[in-house]
Amino acid sequence: MGFHLNLKFMRKFIFFAVVFFLTGTSWSQNLPIDFERSEHNFSAFGGAQFTRDKDPLRINNNVGHITNTGGDIFEGVFIDLKNGIQLDSAKKVFFSVYHAEGDSFTFQIKLEKNTSGEPDIYVQKTIKNSNWHHDSFDFSKAKVVGTNAAVNARGRYMRLTLFFEPDQLKTGKYCVDDIKGFASNLPPMSSVTMPIYDKLVWSDEFNYSGKPNSEKWHHQVIPPNNGGWFNNEIQHYTDKKDNSFVGEGSMKIVLKKEKFTYGNSTKEFTSARLNSKFAFTYGRIDVRAKLPSGSGVWPAIWTLGTNVGETGNYWGRDAATVGWPACGELDIMESWGHNPRYVSSAVHTKARYGGVETGGISLPDPYNNYHVYSMVWSPEKIWFLVDDKEIHTYHPEVRTAENWPFAKDQYILLNIAVLSQVDAKFDSSRMEIDYVRVYQKAITTAVNGAPNETGAALYPNPTSNKLFVQGMDRYIVYSILDMNGRILQSGSLKGQADIDVSKLAAGVYELLLNGDDQWVSSGSNAIFRFVKE
C-alpha cells in the first residue's frame, strides 16, 4: 500500500523478470566453471548464442563460446549454481575472457540471489587484451542493477550472468573460461519449507451486526499528510457506519462519492481504514474477501510494523520508533481498478529505498466471488497466497535491519483508497470481508530425548552448553530465537548434530528447525522450546 516506486527502475526490473521467465532454468552445478564438463552449459537470452567448444588458442582446453547477434541490448548468458557463490569473506570472482575480433570490449558479471528481497548486483570493466585476459571482479565494490548504487555484496548468489557489451547493440564473438569464486557450502535454499501455522490465535468472523467490534478494530481517520493521505489519494477515512459496518456474516468497507471535511481539509470521497488492535510476529493470516471495483479504486489487505510513527494509527501512541519504510510493510492483497481482476502482493523495506518486491495473479471475478488472501510469515521467508496458491515469496538470504524488519510485531490494515483517475460517474463500491484469521504454531516443549511428531528429538533440556539434535539424515537449517522471535543464532546441521548454546544468556528459547520433506514428514518446520541454564 506504501508509496509509489520509481517506474523506470521497475520497468528494468520487470524486463529482467520476463527474460528469465522465458528462458527457464539452466542445469545447476558448481564452481569452478572450466567448461570441461557437459553441465558447464549456460543458457543464452536476448539473441545471444552459447556453445561449449575448443579454446581457439590452446588445444585440449574447452571454453564457453558466446556470440552476440546484436538482437537486444541485454543479450547474454546465465547459469544457475547448485550451491552458489558466497560473498561474505571472499569477495572476488575470477575469470578468463577472450575476444575473437581482438577489439576492446566491456565485460560484465551479474549475480542474483534467485530469491526476492535483495537487488541484483554487477561488476564490469572494459578489457583491451586481444589474447586471453585473466582477471577478477571485486564484489565488495559491486553496483546495484537499476540504481547503480555502490554496494559491498554479502551472502550467497545462485545465478551468474555474463554480458559482453552490455547496454549496447553490438555483434561479437567472445570466449570465457575458469570462472572461480568461493563456493557456498550451505545447503540449497529450497530446504526452507513453509511452516504450518494451525493454532488460531486471533480472528473476527463478523458474525454480528453494527459497527466493527471496537475491541478488535481501530478506525484510522486522522489524515497524516497535511490534511490528506499519501500516494495522491483523494479520500477521507471516517468511522461512520456508512463507510464500515458488519452484517450478514461479513464486514463491509464502503468507498463513497461524498463530500467530507476533516479539519480544514475537504475531500470528495469517504472510505474506512481499520487497524487491528492485535499484532503478531510470525504466523499465517487468512482474509476471505470480495473486492471493490472501478478505475482508481485501490483496496488493500496489509500489515505494518507497530513501530511506525504515523499520526492517528492505533499503535503509534505507544510503539512509534521508526518511520516508513523502516517499519516494514507486507501487502497481502492490493488491487488497482485500472488493472481489473489483477491482485498482487508486495514487500516494502528500507533495503530498496522503500521499493517493492511484488508478485500477483489475475482472478476471473474477485468482485463477486470470495477469495482467500493469505500470508505465511516465518522467521526466514514470507509466502503470499491466493486460495492457497503461491503468488509471491520474500526470502532474503542474509537478513539485515534494512531488508528484514520482520522480526517484530505487525498489525493488520483493511482499507479502500481512491486515486484521482476515478471515473467521474463513480458512486460507490465496497469490500466484503467474511473473516480475518491469524494462526501461529503450536510449540512443542521438548521433553528430554523424546521425539516429537516430526521424529526429531532434543536433549538435554534444560541445557547449559550443548543441545543435541537427533533424528535427521539430511541437512537442515536451524535458528535459535528468543521469546520475541529474534534470531540469535543460526546455521546448518546434519546427522546427530549438536548446537553450541554456551553463549546464550540463561532463559527460555525456541529452536526452529527448517527441515525438508525427507526429514520432517509433514514438510513443515519444527519448533522446540528449551531452557538454557
Positive or negative, the CA dihedral 373, 406, 148, 130 is: negative
* Shortest distance in whole angstroms from residue 178 CB to Ca ion: 6
Q: Is the Cβ of residue 201 or residue 222 nearer to Ca ion in the bound state?
A: 201
Q: Is the Cβ of residue 20 or residue 164 nearer to Ca ion in the bound state?
A: 164
- 380 is annotated as an active-site residue: no
Residue type, 379: P
Q: Which of these ranges, 150-158, 201-209, 383-391, 415-423, lies near Ca ion under the rule CB under 5 A?
A: 201-209
Alpha carbons 184 and 523: distance in angstroms, whole number: 24
Give the one residue of 165, 177, 334, 510 binding Ca ion; rule: CB under 5 A.
177
Q: Is 249 in the site for Ca ion (CB under 5 A)?
A: yes
Q: Is the Cβ of residue 162 or residue 304 nearer to Ca ion in the bound state?
A: 162
Residues 6+ apart with CB under 8 A from 308: 315, 316, 320, 322, 323, 324, 327
CB distance 164 to 140 below 8 Å: no
Q: Is 519 in the site for Ca ion (CB under 5 A)?
A: no
Give the one residue of 13, 122, 132, 206 binding Ca ion; rule: CB under 5 A.
206
Determine if residue 231 is left, alpha or beta; phi over 0 gives left, psi from -120 to 50 gives alpha, anything else beta. Answer: left
Q: Is 411 in the site for Ca ion (CB under 5 A)?
A: no
Q: Is 34 in the site for Ca ion (CB under 5 A)?
A: yes
Q: Is the Cβ of residue 156 or residue 437 nearer to Ca ion in the bound state?
A: 437
Q: Is the Cβ of residue 107 or residue 324 nearer to Ca ion in the bound state?
A: 107
* Shortest distance in whole angstroms from residue 222 CB to Ca ion: 29
- Of residues 374, 371, 353, the one with CA closest to residue 362: 371
Catalytic residue among 118, 310, 329, 397: 329
Q: Which of these ranges, 40-48, 169-177, 181-189, 192-200, lies near Ca ion under the rule CB under 5 A?
A: 169-177
Determine if residue 294 is left, alpha or beta; phi over 0 gives left, psi from -120 to 50 gives alpha, anything else beta. Answer: left
Q: Is the Cβ of residue 57 or residue 508 nearer to Ca ion in the bound state?
A: 57
What 8-state DSSP symbol labels residue 233? B
Q: Is 96 in the site for Ca ion (CB under 5 A)?
A: no
CB distance 380 to 479 below 8 Å: yes
CB distance 344 to 358 below 8 Å: yes
* Shortest distance in whole angstroms from residue 220 CB to Ca ion: 23
Q: Is the Cβ of residue 249 or residue 451 nearer to Ca ion in the bound state?
A: 249
Q: Is 324 in the site for Ca ion (CB under 5 A)?
A: no
Give Cα separations from 109 to 17, 122, 133, 144, 398 (angstroms). Answer: 17, 6, 15, 12, 21
- The residues facing 160 across adjacent strands are 79, 111
Q: Which of these ranges, 134-142, 206-214, 475-483, 512-520, lies near Ca ion under the rule CB under 5 A?
A: 206-214
Residue with cell 547503480: 148
* Shortest distance in whole angstroms from residue 251 CB to Ca ion: 8
* Shortest distance in whole angstroms from residue 58 CB to Ca ion: 9
Q: Is 35 in the site for Ca ion (CB under 5 A)?
A: yes
Number of residues that bind Ca ion (CB under 5 A): 10
The secondary structure of 105-136, three-state, reads EEEEEEEECCCCCCCCEEEEEEECCCCCEEEE
- 205 is annotated as an active-site residue: no
Q: Is the Cβ of residue 35 or residue 298 nearer to Ca ion in the bound state?
A: 35
Please report, as residue ranges, which positions from 429 to 458 form the binding site for Ca ion (by CB under 5 A). 434-435
The site map against Ca ion for 38-77 (x = CB under 5 A) is -----------------------xx---------------
- Phi, psi angles (nearest 5°) of residue 354: 85, 0
Q: Is 205 in the site for Ca ion (CB under 5 A)?
A: yes
Q: Is 165 in the site for Ca ion (CB under 5 A)?
A: no
* Buried b or exposed e, range 89-121, using 16+ CB within 10 angstroms: eebbbebbbbbeeeeebebbbbbbbbbbbbbbb
* Shortest distance in whole angstroms from residue 453 CB to Ca ion: 31
Catalytic residue among 112, 233, 258, 334: 334
> Would you give the end-to-end CA distance of the chain in angstroms?
45
Residues of the shown chain interacting with Ca ion in the complex, contacts defined by CB under 5 A? 34-35, 61-62, 177, 205-206, 249, 434-435
**Residues that are catalytic:** 329, 334
